[in-house]
């Protein structure tokens, strides 16, 4: 089994090179340089166990101030490798928010190595705006989102700007960023998934 530090290292590299480096999220750099991004790795191999870990991270986030922990990247290297399964799990995640009475306080954004927008081909470069090294749930504070959007001119243009950025970059340019999972971790994930498939 690999160390969670490896998945966190891969995720930080993706954040710095892709999300911040390509300015895919204009709000990411500020919280990153201030050390307000928390990285959590779940070793859950089933959606049920993953949900328990997610609930804990949601509670931990709201228990702290935004200055202490503004946002959490909840990394899932051993579960929900299939994007459709991951997408189905998002409904469970939203239900957890509701049960914790955190709707309007936190929201959950989704990132995945196979992320695919509706109506696009699998290899469409625009899908890479939401492609992370591992399945990842981004736990965000609604207040922080509101402040960031209010301070950013024309936030509605971010999505279109990102599409153009990636189209200009192309698949080869994305590959050159080297923001995928480390080889050792990728092998462990594949082996873990293979073992689950045999159950």
Domain ranges (residues) in the chain: 4-186
What dihedral angle (degrees, nearest 10) is formed by the CA atoms of 5, 141, 21, 181?
30
The predicted pLDDT at position 184 comes to: 57
The predicted pLDDT at position 118 comes to: 93
**Which residue in 64, 53, 198, 68 sits closest to 135, CA to CA?**
53
pLDDT tens sequence across 125-142:
999 999 999 999 999 999
Place of tokens 């966190």: 8
Measured CA distances, 83 to 110, 124, 131, 151, 159 (Å): 10, 15, 11, 33, 21
Each residue's pLDDT tens digit in the chain (199 positions)? 557 799 999 999 999 999 999 999 989 999 999 999 999 999 999 999 999 999 999 999 999 999 999 999 999 999 999 999 999 999 999 999 999 999 999 999 999 999 999 999 999 999 999 999 999 999 999 999 998 888 887 878 898 999 999 999 999 999 999 999 986 544 444 444 444 444 3
The predicted pLDDT at position 108 comes to: 97
The predicted pLDDT at position 2 comes to: 58
């Amino acid at each position: 089994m690999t160390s969670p530090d490896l998945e966190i290292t891969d995720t930080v590299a993706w954040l710095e090179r892709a999300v911040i480096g390509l300015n895919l999220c204009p709000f990411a750099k500020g919280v990153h340089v201030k050390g307000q991004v928390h990285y959590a790795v779940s070793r859950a191999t089933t959606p049920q166990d993953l949900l328990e870990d997610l609930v804990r991270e949601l509670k931990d986030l709201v228990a702290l101030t935004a200055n202490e922990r503004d946002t959490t990247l909840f990394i899932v290297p051993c579960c929900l490798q299939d994007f459709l399964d991951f997408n189905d799990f998002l409904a469970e995640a939203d239900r957890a928010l509701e049960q914790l009475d955190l709707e309007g306080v936190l929201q959950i954004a989704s990132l995945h190595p196979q992320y695919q927008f509706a109506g696009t081909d699998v290899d469409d470069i625009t899908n890479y705006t939401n492609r992370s090294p591992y399945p990842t749930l981004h736990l965000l504070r609604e207040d922080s989102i509101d402040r960031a959007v209010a301070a950013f001119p024309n936030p509605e243009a971010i999505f279109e700007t990102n599409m153009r950025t990636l189209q200009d970059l192309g698949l080869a340019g994305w590959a050159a960023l080297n923001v995928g999972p480390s080889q050792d971790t990728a092998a462990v994930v594949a082996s873990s998934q293979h073992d689950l498939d045999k159950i």
